[in-house]
Amino acid sequence: MSDLEIRNLRPEEIAIAVDWAAAEGWNPGLSDAACFAIPDAKGFFVGEIDGEPVATVSCVNYDDRFAFLGFYIVRSGFRDRGHGLRMWNAAIAHAGARVIGLDGVVAQQDNYRKSGFQLAHANVRYGGFVAAPSRPPADVVALDTIPLALVEADDATVFPAPRSAFLRAWIGTSGHVGRALLRDGKLAAWGVIRPCRIGRKIGPLVADDRAAAEAIVQALLESANGGEIFLDVPAVNREAIALVESLGLKPVFETARMYTGPIAPLRTDRVFGVTSFELG
């Protein structure tokens, strides 16, 4: 058998990693591949043996200080041969001196810790079927009517790096629906719902408080006519946990949000739904 050869995935090939993530049960969105390529098209890697893809990893550099690692997958039948370590090293090298974040399965926390990652908090995926509201909140507006600069400024309170181009694509992609809530002319909450392999996922969901977050959720549910939905919620945000439990959603699985170094203080209390386990 030939050695593993590692190369960049071309933007149109990122669907390979997304498909594998779906097979692992991560339930990506239908348009994730196109959106994920925008922040750093060179941050996606594939390992091949004789031209056959056997492993993937991504490390998206958002700016010169922060990167996020995901899609760390080695196909069954090719594991325990050192391929994963080589993919990992390629991703870490791409990040350079940047602080790296990831959402890893809990069972791998010790391995990530050995690589210099430290636990910040757990994220929990909740899912279930929810009916559409009979009457959505009247004071919620379409997110694309809000100046992007306001959304970016609010996003900066909950994410470690600027991601303007990504947010523009995430909000504007066909099939994605965004809603926002203004209070006294200020952005109090906003969120996006998107179709996934199974049901729909809400994320990001950013709000000043539970009431504002719930207004966005109800508006997004109305746009989707209810159905099966998922939210990835920071376990340290008790108000977010209370919200998803009030909707009747149940835990699906848990990840560990970890970083290799210090990041700017984040308002995790305003995060009612994580954007993506793959890109942060």
pLDDT digits over 250-267, tens only? 999 999 999 999 999 999
pLDDT digits over 56-104, tens only? 999 999 999 999 999 999 998 888 888 989 999 999 999 999 999 999 9
Domains plus CATH for the chain? Answer: 5-120 (3.40.630.30), 125-273 (3.40.630.90)
Better-scored residue on pLDDT, 32 or 137 = 32
3-state secondary structure the chain: CCCCEEEECCHHHHHHHHHHHHHCCCCCECCHHHHHCCCCCCCEEEEEECCEEEEEEEEEECCCCEEEEEEEEECCCCCCCCHHHHHHHHHHHHHCCCEEEEEEEHHHHHHHHHCCCEEEEEEEEEEEEECCCCCCCCCEEEHHHCCHHHHHHHHCCCCCCCCHHHHHHHHHCCCCEEEEEEECCEEEEEEEEEEECCCEEEEEEEECCHHHHHHHHHHHHHHHCCEEEEEEEECCCHHHHHHHHHCCCEEEEEEEEEECCCCCCCCHHHEEECCCCCCC
pLDDT digits over 135-147, tens only? 878 789 999 999 9
pTM of the entire predicted model: 0.95
